[in-house]
Amino acid sequence: MSLKKKQLTGITFISLAVVGVVFLLYVPDNTQSEYEPGIPTVFVHGYKGTANSFDFMLNRFENKYNWGNKAIVYYVSASGKVEEHNLNKGRKEPTFIQVVFQNNRASFATTSFWLASVLQQLKEKYEVEKVNLVGHSMGGIVSLKYIKEYNEKAYPSVANFVTIGSPYDGIYSDAYFRIHHDPAAEDLKPQSNALKRLREGEFPKGINVLSIASTGDTVAVPESVHALRSIIPSNQLEEVVIEDPELGHSALHENVQIDQLIHSFLWQDREQ
């Protein structure tokens, strides 16, 4: 069932859990898993994010839902050095990957370059030709920048892209920028040059995109999230706005309804 421009109400499905960042997971041969998607899914945290930003979500994916196994966590130092923590114990099929940036306040350009370095290493070492990307907040913006600017053979291509609470028109709160003054904050201002550059050029064909927003998000308000419509062709974009005044920005990756939306979009719907 298509999710395009459909509004969902409340928090349904199972129970609540918590946060994360980016993973490459492998399904062992002797493990029964309901879904073995094959294409690794990379999780990218947002501005000021940490390993916790997707950690709890991936724990639910692996241990509660049995959707796959956590295989690799990539840590990127402030100087851009990539360190791999391989958790797959020699298994071959990657399903989830986590990326953690030590400098979580760097510009869009710098962070997307670091993401490209991680994915280039993933391709060279594991021969991964294609990935799914899941980004929260600025992680969605950085992932979009990777898709548009790193579409060379040296890097994995992107099959599907999920963006969660990503303010593509910037953050509308003046108070937010009285507190934050780093390069990422400058890029997140409405009408910044970095946001304008995201609109340049065409979005690649063949990539399916799901954009998720919440009416309770005061950082990436739905209006700013919907600015993605000016970048992604309508036939490649599905949008969901969750009508919940209590579902704030940092809780989006802790929400089990969003878990189910990701699962349906990346795996269940792709099998049909």
> Whole-model pTM?
0.84
Give the homologous superfamily in CATH for domain 6-271.
Alpha/Beta hydrolase fold, catalytic domain (3.40.50.1820)
- Tell me the residue ranges of DSSP E strands in the chain: 6-9, 41-44, 70-76, 82-86, 96-101, 130-136, 157-164, 208-214, 237-243
Tokens of 179: 């507190």
Rounded-to-integer distance, Cα 117 and Cα 130, Å:
15
The domain segmentation of the chain, as residue ranges, is 6-271
pLDDT digits (tens), the chain, 272 positions = 444 333 333 333 333 333 333 333 333 333 333 333 479 999 999 999 999 999 999 999 999 998 888 899 999 999 999 999 988 765 555 489 999 999 999 999 999 999 999 999 999 998 999 999 999 999 999 999 999 999 999 999 999 999 999 999 999 999 999 999 999 999 999 999 999 999 999 999 999 999 999 999 999 999 999 999 999 999 999 999 999 999 999 999 999 999 999 999 998 865 54
